[in-house]
Amino acid sequence: MVRLDRSSPLPLWAQMTDDLRRRLLNGEFEHHFPSDEELTRDYEVSRQTAREAVRHMISEGLVVRQRGRGTSVTPPALEQHLHSLYSLASTVRATGIEERSEVLVAEQCPVTPEVATQLRLYEGATVVFIERLRFAGSEPIAWDRSWLPADQTVSLLDADLSLGGLYDALALHCSLRITGGWERIRPVIPNPTERKLLRLPPKVAAFSTERLVFVGDTPIEYRKSLIRGDRYSLVAQWPTGPAAQF
């Protein structure tokens, strides 16, 4: 039981917020954040006071409240540095969070005109299409759709793509190592189907990415991704010192 100072001019909800913030930063709520009933009991306050304290923690981005699931600590945002080609799997693992993928589709199919243009394939060619829902811990963070030339990458269909990045699988099963590429990133408002797939909260945007990667001079993967905007941020760094040019 936590004793609040009822003689203090600081409102009880504010004292609760300060104490809950301190406890959260000390890692006390890693597995469970107290319900309103538990807060009411532990702090000996009204339900309204407990809810006001939680409301302020939500406004600070410290916790999130979801209907039917209660209140939980906001998961840490992933920071992606843009100085080189990156792997979402590696970014997630670097934070100490479990990384995995749910493979929704893995098949050979005819190439579409858009993909044929990007991969420099002729009309009638076939591609390997891989659709994955990417997870950071228990929460989905990205939806990936990848197209690759089937004549070079069909072995991927026999690979376990539930863990690790696609480029690791390309190297292991197809002896193909990525040497370069480009990526285009823009913010979007997901449609209801996309929002449900990513379990994205209301009024939260996402990053739409389009990527083409190469092995030497040959395009080997064209990818479209949708990444949660509340769990992901992009970081760019520039050189410092007299040699920097702006």
Burial class (CB in 10 A: 0-12, 13-18, 19+), 242: exposed
Same domain membership, residue 173 and residue 221: yes
- Residue corresponding to tokens 């009204």: 46
5 assigned to some structural domain: no
- Domain-terminating residue out of 45, 73, 101: 73
Q: Measure the CA angle with vertex 151, ends 150 and 157; round to 5°.
A: 45
Overall number of domains in the chain: 2
Q: For residue range 154-202, list pLDDT tens digits in order.
A: 999 999 999 888 999 999 999 999 999 888 888 899 999 999 999 888 8
The answer on 82 and 69 residing in a single domain is: no
In-domain check, residue 243: no
User: What whole-number distance in Å separates Cα of residue 219 and Cα of residue 146?
Assistant: 12
137-to-149, 163, 242 alpha-carbon distances in Å: 31, 12, 43
Q: Using one digit for the tens of pLDDT, what is the confidence trace for 131-155?
A: 999 988 778 889 999 999 999 999 9
Q: Check whether residue 69 and residue 85 sit in a common domain.
A: no
116 and 198 both lie in a single domain: yes
Q: Are 52 and 129 in contact (CB under 8 A)?
A: no
| CATH code of 188's domain | 3.40.1410.10
Q: Is residue 121 part of a domain?
A: yes
| The pLDDT of residue 173 | 95
Predicted confidence (pLDDT) per residue in 25-57, tens digit? 777 887 788 888 999 999 999 999 999 998 888
Q: How many CB atoms lie within 10 A of CB 110?
A: 13
Domain enclosing residue 190, as ranges: 78-235
Q: Which of 73, 88, 111 is the last residue of a domain?
A: 73
Residue 21 resides in a domain: yes
